[in-house]
Amino acid sequence: MAHQQLLPMGDEFSRDERELSDIDSFVKAGRAVFTVLNEETGNRFTYRVKRHKRKRSLYFVSVLTGSDNVHDYTYIGAIFGKEFRSTKRSRVTEDALSFKAFAWFIRNVRTLPNSVKVFHENRCGRCGRALTVPESVKNGFGPECIKKV
Ligand SMILES: [Zn+2]
């Protein structure tokens, strides 16, 4: 089985081989921001996946559509359990590349080919705080949050 890494953004990429399930845990940790790069197509999108406060299997997915890494997100749809779909509030259609790319990504998150790279933003996937410890940068989780995912 192919291994895939969750990579920190920036100059130093982790060299450690990581299991695909770690990317899955990161994406569904609660406050994940990550970039998916498909080296075959050249497509690259930064997504934010937020968990609903009470419904633990419901996530809201937005895509970065501007240069402001905090505010320029456009809501595209929701993950209900294992299904990703658009909702009334979605601001892109299901034909949009950002929507189709995420639908494909989340369906294949445990079997991503090596040509698909996933980068975190040096922020904890669970709480959103900046990661400082090298071990945390490698994992995508702060030292407290890693115990809870
Ligand atoms: Zn955290």
**Residue corresponding to tokens 């996530």:** 59
The number of CA neighbours under 13 Å toward the Cβ of 75 is 12
Maximum CA extent, the chain: 41
Going from the Cα of 69 to the center of ligand 1, the distance in angstroms, rounded, reads 18
How far away, in angstroms, is 95 Cα from ligand 1 center? 34
What confidence tens digit (pLDDT) does each residue in 75-103 have? 999 999 889 999 999 999 999 999 999 99
Q: Are 111 and 20 in contact (CB under 8 A)?
A: yes
Instruction: Tell me if residue 102 falls in helix, strand or coil.
Output: helix
Lowest mean pLDDT, pick from 63-72, 93-102, 108-117, 132-141: 63-72
CA 26 to chain centre: 7
Please tell me the distance between residue 49's alpha carbon and the centre of ligand 1 in angstroms. 15
Minimum mean pLDDT range among 6-20, 89-103, 122-136: 6-20
Question: Region 100-112: what's the mean pLDDT?
Answer: 93
Question: What is the 30 CA–ligand 1 centroid distance (Å)?
Answer: 10
Residue 4 has a pLDDT of 63
